[in-house]
Chain A
């Protein structure tokens, strides 16, 4: 999806829809299969294994406590899937355009700049992890549990140094407050169709949620 505005808006609505109801989660998943290169996202699932394990544990606990675990597990898993899709669709530079479009040359540019530099830091972090791994291999130091803390401390220090360098570079390039940018977006018809298709997903989720509030919610019954 090329238009970052539609992409992020869709992800936000789909995530909320998936969170509030199982029907919303099902509709969001159907949307995901229809409008995204879902095979690419499935391949990236391995990066979120830790998250899925956590969701699984919490789901089991909830299921034993009050029987809502499976619903929780399914809904959260759909949200994570949407998140993986969103992360995979990132195009460098687009947050700057989105920020300025949303909030103008000052606040918007600053927010977009922060987001872009944040993404850069994330990519650099992955590079640093790889380099530390090579350094450990070359020195024949096993990267075990005991080695993770010094490696992690090193990573944090490298990020701090990088942040300092970036601050100097921003200053010397004349950054003070915001910046000038003419936001540009590519909005193919497919993106518009995908964006509009999020509306029925929202209504399906809202319908079940309202149904739950008025007819199933013991708390609300008690209030009324």
Chain B
């Protein structure tokens, strides 16, 4: 369980929230605090007060995989292989294990054809896949994806959705403006102006959003 208690950070204000294992989607308007909650869960930011614990452990002591919203902000190196291998290298993993782990993750994501390419020449969708590979290569306990689906098309989005469901990560936390994607999650969180509005089963949360642009079309038309 991800346990959030009396969390305060800038505009974000969450008294109590428990996030179960599985795929959780955070939805809300721009400026509602979605990215802030992700950054706190990744340990990139530290709460001003309150706590956030992942299975009883602070985020900075948890293995986290992070994919930024903007494809160009996930790039440290020129070549895709170096990008994907970087978390292993930074952790001083044995050098003979690094190629094995990189190969395993590129096979799983089906991006072998990209590993020798220059990252900046890849399409947005390919950059997202490389960033995802870099995030997954260390088998993180928590995977955080900030609106990764904004810059990729439906087919790629679907592919990544399947990969996330099948991943070994205990927790997948993602932000999305795609309500159809959000409807497939295990758990849904709705934020508004930094406050927690609803959290729970997607069907229950969406029931409160009927008549708003946040209600998934698929639920509305019953398809």
Residues of chain A at the chain B interface (Cβ within 8 Å): 92-93, 96, 105, 109, 116-117, 119-120, 123, 127, 165-166, 168-176, 178-182
Question: What chain B residues lie within 8 Å of A109 (beta carbons)?
Answer: 89
Q: What 3 pairs across the A-B complex have the smallest Cβ distances? A: A92-B78, A179-B89, A182-B95
Question: What chain A residues lie within 8 Å of B96 (beta carbons)?
Answer: 182
A168 touches which one: B44, B78, B93 (CB < 8 A)? B44
- Of residues 1 through 52 on chain B, the ones whose CB sits less than 8 Å from some CB of chain A are 42-44
CB-based contact A181/B89 at 8 Å: yes
CB-based contact B68/A92 at 8 Å: no
Known A-B contacts A165-B68, A174-B138; A117 and B93 likewise in contact (beta carbons under 8 Å): no
Q: 27 A-B Cβ contacts within 8 A? A: A92-B77, A92-B78, A92-B82, A105-B92, A116-B77, A116-B82, A120-B75, A120-B77, A166-B76, A169-B66, A169-B68, A169-B73, A170-B90, A172-B42, A172-B66, A173-B66, A173-B90, A173-B134, A174-B63, A175-B90, A176-B90, A178-B92, A179-B89, A179-B90, A179-B91, A180-B89, A180-B93
CB-based contact B74/A181 at 8 Å: no
Give B143 Cβ to nearest chain A Cβ, in Å: 11
Counting residue pairs across A and B whose Cβ atoms lie within 8 Å, the total is 73
Known A-B contacts A93-B82, A173-B86; A123 and B44 likewise in contact (beta carbons under 8 Å): no
Interface residue B106 (Cβ < 8 Å from any Cβ of A): no
CB-based contact B76/A170 at 8 Å: yes
Give A160 Cβ to nearest chain B Cβ, in Å: 14
Question: What chain A residues lie within 8 Å of B66 (beta carbons)?
Answer: 169, 172-173
On chain B, the number of residues with a Cβ less than 8 Å from chain A's Cβ atoms is 31
CB-based contact B118/A92 at 8 Å: yes
- Of residues 143 through 182 on chain B, the ones whose CB sits less than 8 Å from some CB of chain A are none
Interface residue B132 (Cβ < 8 Å from any Cβ of A): no
Per-residue interface assignment for chain B, residues 77 to 118, with 1 indicating a CB less than 8 Å from any chain A CB and 0 otherwise: 111001000111111111110100000000000000000001
Known A-B contacts A172-B44, A172-B64; A93 and B134 likewise in contact (beta carbons under 8 Å): no
Give B133 Cβ to nearest chain A Cβ, in Å: 12
Q: Which of A171, A176, A180, A181 has the most CB of B within 10 A?
A: A180
Give B6 Cβ to nearest chain A Cβ, in Å: 24
Question: What chain A residues lie within 8 Å of B92 (beta carbons)?
Answer: 105, 178-180
Known A-B contacts A175-B90, A179-B89; A92 and B79 likewise in contact (beta carbons under 8 Å): yes
A119 to B77, CA, bound (A): 9
Q: Which of A93, A116, A171, A172 has the most CB of B within 10 A?
A: A172
B120 touches which one: A123, A170, A175, A178 (CB < 8 A)? A123
A206 to B43, CA, bound (A): 57
Known A-B contacts A173-B86, A180-B98; A117 and B76 likewise in contact (beta carbons under 8 Å): yes
Question: What chain B residues lie within 8 Å of A175 (beta carbons)?
Answer: 86, 90
CB-based contact B91/A174 at 8 Å: yes
Which B-chain residue is minimally distant from A182 (CB atoms)?
B95
Give A108 Cβ to nearest chain B Cβ, in Å: 12
A sample of 9 more A-B contacts (CB under 8 A), given A119-B78, A170-B90, is A93-B77, A127-B120, A165-B73, A169-B68, A173-B134, A174-B91, A174-B138, A180-B91, A181-B89
A196 to B86, CA, bound (A): 35
CB-based contact A96/B82 at 8 Å: yes
Question: What chain A residues lie within 8 Å of B118 (beta carbons)?
Answer: 92
Question: What chain B residues lie within 8 Å of A176 (beta carbons)?
Answer: 90
CB-based contact A180/B95 at 8 Å: yes
Question: What chain B residues lie within 8 Å of A93 (beta carbons)?
Answer: 77-79, 82
Give A126 Cβ to nearest chain B Cβ, in Å: 11
